[in-house]
Amino acid sequence: MSLLRVLLAIIFPPLAVADRGCGSVLVVLLLTAFGWVPGVIAALVILNKD
């Protein structure tokens, strides 16, 4: 997980997980729509799964 990805996950979470597949992007986009913090947490969890 690079510093650029972490910053991107904080600023705009769906864009940070764009290379992980459509499902990940949709989940993070939905959580970001409900609140910024859940979207950031989901993006960081998905990025940390490597």
Mean pLDDT computed over every residue of the chain: 94
What lies within 8 Å, CB to CB, of 13 at 6+ separation is 28, 29, 31, 32, 36, 39, 40, 42, 43
What is the residue type of 12? F
Instruction: Calculate the alpha carbon distances from 38 to 29, 42 in Å.
Output: 10, 6
**What value does the mean pLDDT take over residues 15-38?**
95
**Non-local CB neighbours of 40 within 8 Å, separated by 6+ positions:** 9, 10, 13, 32
Q: What is the mean pLDDT of residues 24-45?
A: 96
Q: What is the pTM (predicted TM-score) of this model? A: 0.90
Number of domains in the chain: 1
Q: For residue 25, give its domain range.
A: 3-48
pLDDT at site 4: 93
pLDDT(23) > 80: yes
pLDDT at 11: 96
